[in-house]
Amino acid sequence: MMTTTPLTETAVAEHRSPFRRVVDVVDERMGISALRYPVPEHANTLGWSLGGLTAVSLAVVILTGIILVQFYIPDPTQANQSVRQITTGVFGGAFVRGIHYWAAQTMYVLAGLHMLRVFLTASYKKPREGNWLIGVGMFVLTFLAIFTGTVLKWDQEAFEALGHNIEAGKLMGGLGSFFSPTFAAHTPILVRLYAAHVVLIPGAILLALFIHILLIKRHRISPHPLLPDIGTGQAPVDEPTESFTRHLRRISAFGLTLVGVLGLLALIRPPGIGSPPVSGIEITRPMWQFWPMFTLENWFGLSGILWGGGALFGLLAIVPFIDRNPARHPGRRKVALVIGSVALVTYVTLTLLMLVLPAKTHLGM
Amino acid sequence: MHTTRYRTLLRQSVAALVIGWFVFLPATPAFAHGEGESKESRVLALDALAYLANRPAHYVDSAMEKLNDAIAAKDTTGVNMDKLTEAMHEMSAGQMMQARTALQDAIQPLSGQTFSGQMFSNHMANGQMISGHSMGEEPGTTLMLDPLKGSTNWGDSSWLLAGASALAVLAGLLLARRWRPPESLLEIRSHLTGLEA
């Protein structure tokens, strides 16, 4: 009769594949096995991978951005022409710019959808309130990145967006002084926004993302509201789990699809560029992300932009602090869901109104 | 004891300064595009040029108005007024392309020299010459170009990129399916509720 004897540690080490050995060597020094923490099975779905896909979009934006800065000239007299040169005179430039543009759009949409999923599944509740706030902060930063990116192309739309920003800054008194052109009168404001777009904002997003990911690891993935609630803010102990690396693997698969879609969009709907800007006219419509604020501006003047933006991001920030109901099941969160739906419908309506209502020009025309 | 009082005083002074900065520094009146129309003929001529470059059929009246203002403006520095008048004649005759060319010629001197051959005033900043028309929030535009639409004329490389992109979509979908979780949410739920029961 054959008997099996347990393999000694040395024997196991000798049976490892060369790849496994390399991984173990790296792990011993860098601690990458910390990524193998358990993730509940319900999280390996598309809905629970939206945050990861937002991070994929960010990676694409950064990679394409690194290429674009090699050719972009942040000088008001040449910026518009340099974007045209990238589009028409640099090999692959139009494709890279197209991917950068669409990845930024996707990042904003995915971040919004991710926040919507977190809201619907009550994942912002104790002990994850702080991480929700960091998420809202990243959403604001993404919004700012899109704004500054819009300005960098330095066409009429860019200049009008900048004009609104500067005037809104004036309304903020001392708080808005940094956004004023007089803060550094001899420096073109384009240069300052360029620095914000390529260094300050991405740096802040990466820092916030790092903390966001660490907090996810610390608090673990939140429980699914439709599964039995054990009341600890964690997934049921008996729910099957997979390691976070498996979760990353599935996000990579979704990410590959996303990159393909971005490539197709860059080819089918490449972004254009408007005429070089002039001051004193108002003829363009802002990017759709700004439409709710601009509808409010048409009704209430420039202060509508400030109040609208403040209300949007302020309401998002206070969600975990006004919703203290510990229940996660949608059936027991009717008030929160109704208020959330009203806010969402208002946001969408304000966005769509921009298409229907006649755009108004403002003082100074 | 004294140290505590000193710290409290310091804290209160800093708080008062910060609050004062935000509250008492008055907000200035804001307009979407600066305080009123420019008095400079060059700026007004550029506005007219921009109207013509962006959907001229929609903005003929606006362009005409700006051109009139440019001709009537007191500050005509750097503008060839003859060309401006020529642009007005062309526009009145419905010759928009000619009007645009004349307008561009009228402000062209700014790109290097003034019409009389004198160098345009520049400002010194940090030892470098910076054009007065590209500082702060100045647009810095001297040459008006048409809007450029994204090109959808596909060459060989575009087809190659499209193929690679489509392949990435397919591969991603296949891998996502292959690596999907073994159980659906309903199965996990019935599994868990079964355990509870």
Residue A354 has pLDDT above 50, yes or no: yes
Give the three-class secondary structure for A333: coil
For residue B195, give both structure tokens.
Answer: 């355990």
Q: Over the stretch A294-321, which tens digit does the pLDDT of each residue have?
A: 899 988 888 888 899 899 999 999 999 9
Residue A188 has pLDDT above 70, yes or no: yes
* Separation CA B197–CA B195 (nearest Å): 5
User: What are the distances in angstroms from CA B93 to CA A238, A287, B71, B80, B88?
Assistant: 82, 36, 17, 20, 9
Q: Quote the percentage of chain A above a pLDDT of 70.
A: 94
Q: Over the stretch A267-287, which tens digit does the pLDDT of each residue have?
A: 999 999 999 999 888 888 899
Indicate yes or no: CB of A80 within 8 angstroms of CB of B51: no
* Separation CA B91–CA B64 (nearest Å): 7
Please identify among residues 107-146 of chain B the ones whose CB lies closer than 8 Å to any CB of chain A.
123, 125-126, 130-131, 133-146
The region that residue A51 occupies, defined by phi over 0 for left and psi between -120 and 50 for alpha, beta otherwise, is alpha
Instruction: Based on DSSP, count helices (H) and strands (E) in chain A, helices before strands.
Output: 13, 2
CA distance A131 to chain B (A): 25
Residue A74 has pLDDT above 90, yes or no: yes
| Orientation of helix A303-322 relative to helix A156-171, angle to 10° | 70
* Separation CA B66–CA A72 (nearest Å): 32
The residue type found at B5 is R
Q: Positive or negative CA dihedral for A172, B140, B83, A85?
A: negative
Q: Over the stretch A248-260, which tens digit does the pLDDT of each residue have?
A: 999 999 999 999 9
User: What are the distances in angstroms from CA A56 to CA A32, A69, A133, B10?
Assistant: 20, 20, 21, 47
Indicate yes or no: CB of B27 within 8 angstroms of CB of A242: no
Q: Over the stretch A115-163, which tens digit does the pLDDT of each residue have?
A: 999 999 999 999 999 999 999 999 999 999 999 999 999 999 999 999 9
The residue type found at A188 is P
Residue A69 has pLDDT above 90, yes or no: yes
| Ranges of chain B whose pLDDT falls below 50 | 23, 26, 28-34, 110-132
Work out the average pLDDT over A164-190: 81
Strand partners, B148: A273
In terms of CA atoms, which chain B residue is nearest residue A77? B140
Residue A226 has pLDDT above 90, yes or no: yes
Q: Over the stretch A77-118, which tens digit does the pLDDT of each residue have?
A: 999 999 999 999 999 999 999 999 999 999 999 999 999 999
For residue B140, give both structure tokens.
Answer: 């810095």
* Separation CA A259–CA B172 (nearest Å): 9
Place of tokens 């004329």: B153
Q: Over the stretch B13-71, which tens digit does the pLDDT of each residue have?
A: 777 766 665 545 545 444 444 456 778 899 999 999 999 998 777 888 999 999 999 99
Indicate yes or no: CB of A283 within 8 angstroms of CB of B59: yes
pLDDT category of residue A234 using cuts at 50, 70 and 90: very high
Indicate yes or no: CB of B185 within 8 angstroms of CB of A173: no
A128-153 as b/e: b if 16+ CB within 10 A: beebbbbbbbbbbbbbbbbbbbbbbb
* Separation CA A111–CA A134 (nearest Å): 12
Residue from A77, A153, A250 whose CB has the most chain B CBs within 10 Å, to mutate? A77
Cβ pairs A/B, distance under 8 A: 273
For this complex, say whether ipTM is above 0.95. no
Residue from A167, A224, A279, A283 whose CB has the most chain B CBs within 10 Å, to mutate? A279
Indicate yes or no: CB of A256 within 8 angstroms of CB of B141: no
* Separation CA B115–CA B79 (nearest Å): 7
pLDDT score for B126: 38
In terms of CA atoms, which chain B residue is nearest residue A84? B148
In terms of CA atoms, which chain B residue is nearest residue A81? B145
In terms of CA atoms, which chain A residue is nearest residue B163? A264
Indicate yes or no: CB of A267 within 8 angstroms of CB of B150: no
Residues in B touching A271 (Cβ below 8 Å): 150
Closest to B151 measured CA to CA, from A271, A93, A153, A99: A271
How long a stretch of residues is chain B?
197
Burial of A37 (0-12, 13-18, 19+ CB in 10 A): middle
User: What are the distances in angstroms from CA A6 to CA A12, A13, A184?
Assistant: 10, 13, 73
Q: Which of A197-206, A356-365, B126-135 has the lowest mean pLDDT?
A: B126-135
B4/A contact by beta carbon, under 8 A:
no
Of A211 and A32, the structure prediction assigns the larger pLDDT to: A211
Quickly list DSSP for A183-252. Answer: GGTTS-HHHHHHHIIIIIHHHHHHHHHHHHHHHHHHH-SPPPTTSPP-SSSS--TTS-EEEHHHHHHHHH
Task: Give this prediction's pTM.
Answer: 0.86
Q: Positive or negative CA dihedral for A161, B71, A186, A168?
A: negative
Task: Judge whether B120 and B104 are in contact, CB under 8 Å.
Answer: no
Residue A15 has pLDDT above 60, yes or no: yes
Q: What angle do CA A195, A201, A207 make, to 5 degrees?
A: 130
pLDDT score for A2: 47
Residue B33: which of A239, A270, A364 has the nearest Cβ?
Answer: A364
